[in-house]
Amino acid sequence: MDRKNSLAVIDFGGQYAHLIATKFRNNGYHAEIRNPEDPIELFAEYGGVVISGSPNLSAFGEESGSLSMVLDLPIPALGFCYGHQEIAKHYGGEVIRGKQEFGPATLQIVSESPIFHGIPLKSTVFMSHGDTVCKVGEGFREIGVSFSEGSEPHTFAAIADDTRKRYGFQYHPEVDDSEYGEAMLLNFASHICGLTPDWNVTSSLTERMESIRRQVGDRTVFLLVSGGVDSTVLGELLIRALSAEKVHLLHVDTGFMREGESHAVSEIFRRQCQDHYHVVDASALFIEALQGVSAPEEKRNIIGEAFVTVCEEEMAKLDLSKALLAQGTIYPDTVESGGEKRSKVIKTHHNRVRLMEEMIQRGQVIEPLADLYKKEVRDLGAALGIPRELLDRHPFPGPGLAVRLLASRGETPSFYDPEIARHAVPYLPEGVSATILPIPSVGVKADLRSYELPLMLHGKPLSEITDQFQTTIFSMVPSLVNKVEGINRVLVSLTGSLPRVSPRQVYMDRHRIDLLRRADHMVNTILGEMGLMKAVWQFPVVLVPLNIGEQGREMIVLRPVSTVRAMTCTVPLLPLAFYERCVEALLTLPDVGAVALDVTTKPPGTIEWE
Ligand code: XMP
């Protein structure tokens, strides 16, 4: 491999560092992830460097010594967020605290540069930052500013020194929601670094199979299959690379599967693998272990460890204790679980808990898809000849409905302050009220985990909600999440005014799991009947433990999302007739007293609530 024709992406732990390399590779430009500690001589061999964002390195601290040396190399450099601020500072600029921005903003190009070749003067970019560049040094100029609805422009959103070939963007061009972000990356690779695009997916498939054969040697492989896209693709890849003889598959029914899911999974794999396909009903173990638990990370850890316990028991029973365990872990599982050197835990994915990490350390686990995102997994599946209808199913998380079934001790969180809602008033359309709900959920802000409260907008009955109203609400979300401190989600009531609400003391019992399973099934059936499956990437249905009004019923939240790689998301505009059918069906369920639509982008929300 010719490093002169490649890019080095320096990973400072930002949530999207890996995505930068993926975007280049998907377009034929070879790019590799590097640590800041790698030798400076190595960086000197590349055709250019890209500096990622970072969760804990603010540009206020000391400049990283290695970064300073990299910037002194005579190769082109491009930085995002933290990387952008470091470039500004290195050449005499200044960074200030505050002026945060999360989610979409409009980028306005204010000066021409080859990095903006072919890009319209105004476009949407995605932001996730707390600090801001306020001055640049000699040789640099401002080439873009950013603003969101109703706010003052943020200066220095993009800076350039075309002579030194140094560029910085405050936004994240690497995320799919930055409209022309990919084009900007490609401008860097081609116009600034002068690289040639000569990398492709087929060569990566051959390399991947060879690497599996090398890792496995003459051992047997035991694969956990949830029935989702990742494990389906990995199953096929392992069988191709190693032959069916050497692969055993295990499906664990956790009790948190969707209606009919375990049965459907078994249909697919039993046909393909016959007596090498095993199923275990472990629902009693999982549900018992979650009794009385409500904290999201505690739930996730219990679920992950229960997977390991069940898996070890089954391997022992089948006399396969010496086999290697294969997991369909993909890149977001690792990065959001804080698994990369500097990234922070947003949520611990089921395949990244302590017991599993210990097995990985002992060399007992292989994860051949760990550097890929869902989109790349689907592309790989297509290259392996897996039918499109299997690849295009909505992703379903390993912990299943458990992360959509919130539990509560029935206490109001210590950080609950109903007065926060008043800060939302200036941004609200007529006839709409805002209430802070006393139930926190997980989100991601500036590469860090947030655990904050949702802001609920209510007052309009569904019959008065129009497409125009939906669009207005969507466009208000950035202002609300940027201006109202202490919230990480915005919800819109689909059942009119919200009566008095209080936290409801409930846990993960079979009755509530069944209620959520039925609600999830109803929404998905309506989605399918109205031909809308492809209009959303994923559609979590969440059961929220609130006493709604006097009858003390719970709330269902609908969370449709659009995304490509799940590291960011927006909310698709769906027909109102769809929501009308959902609300009508959901209110027939006992214990459901309200239905709301989650309209939060990621960041600052995450796709799942826990
Ligand atoms: P978040 O909620 O972090 O989710 O925005 C991003 C994507 O990851 C899925 N997800 C998981 N998948 N094990 C998985 O296999 C997990 O523990 C897990 N947690 C979240 C989520 O459904 C979404 O597609």
3-state secondary structure of 422: helix
Cis peptide before 604 (omega within 30 of 0): yes
Q: What is the pLDDT of residues 255-283, one digit of tens each?
A: 999 998 888 888 878 887 889 999 999 99
SS3 content of the chain, % helix, strand, coil (to 5): 35, 25, 40
What's the confidence (pLDDT) of residue 335? Answer: 78
Based on the domain organization, do 279 and 142 belong to the same domain?
Answer: no
**Cα within 13 Å of Cα(110), Cβ side:** 17
- Residue 596: name the closest of 468, 465, 482, 502 by CA: 465
- From the number of C-beta atoms within 10 Å of its C-beta (0-12, 13-18, 19+), residue 82 rates as buried
What's the confidence (pLDDT) of residue 59? Answer: 53
Share of the chain above pLDDT 70, in %: 97
pLDDT band at 101 (very low <50, low <70, confident <90, very high): confident
Q: Which helix (H) or strand (E) holds 466?
A: none
Confidence check: pLDDT of 17 > 90: no
What's the confidence (pLDDT) of residue 410? Answer: 96
Ligand 1 centroid distance, CA of 18 (Å) = 17
Catalytic residue flag (residue 172): yes
For residues 31 and 24, give the distance between their C-alpha atoms in angstroms, rounded to a whole number.
Answer: 6
Sequence-ordered list of residues with C-beta below 8 angstroms from that of 218, at least 6 positions apart, any chain: none
Share of the chain above pLDDT 90, in %: 76
Q: What is the pLDDT of residues 186-214, one digit of tens each?
A: 999 999 999 999 887 666 788 889 999 99
Based on the domain organization, do 259 and 369 belong to the same domain?
Answer: yes
- The whole-model pTM stands at 0.83
Q: What is the residue range of 48's domain?
A: 3-192
Structure-token match 């994923």, residue found = 538
Based on the domain organization, do 357 and 210 belong to the same domain?
Answer: yes
607 CB less than 6 Å from ligand 1? yes
349 CB less than 6 Å from ligand 1? yes
State the average pLDDT over residues 154-177: 95
State the average pLDDT over residues 399-422: 97
pLDDT band at 563 (very low <50, low <70, confident <90, very high): very high
Based on the domain organization, do 278 and 332 belong to the same domain?
Answer: yes
Domain end marker among 192, 218, 245: 192
Q: What is the pLDDT of residues 288-305, one digit of tens each?
A: 999 999 999 999 999 999
Could you tell me the CATH number of the domain that includes residue 570? 3.30.300.10
State the average pLDDT over residues 323-348: 85
Domain end marker among 142, 166, 192: 192
For residues 492 and 498, give the distance between their C-alpha atoms in angstroms, rounded to a whole number.
Answer: 10
What's the confidence (pLDDT) of residue 148? Answer: 80
Q: How far apart are the first and last CA of the chain?
A: 42
Q: What is the pLDDT of residues 88-98, one digit of tens each?
A: 999 999 998 87
Structure-token match 């209620």, residue found = 515
For residues 354 and 427, give the distance between their C-alpha atoms in angstroms, rounded to a whole number.
Answer: 44
Confidence check: pLDDT of 56 > 70: no
Contact indicator for 94, 88 with CB cutoff of 8 Å: yes
For ligand 1, atom 10: residue with the closest CA = 397
Catalytic residue among 101, 129, 154, 174: 174
Confidence check: pLDDT of 339 > 90: no
Kindly state whether residue 413 falls inside one of the protein's structural domains.
Answer: no
How far is C-alpha 415 from the geometric centre of its chain's CA atoms? Answer: 26
What's the confidence (pLDDT) of residue 167? Answer: 98
Our count of domains for the chain comes to 3
For residue 112, the one-letter residue type is: E
What's the confidence (pLDDT) of residue 389? Answer: 84
336 CB less than 6 Å from ligand 1? yes
559 CB less than 6 Å from ligand 1? no
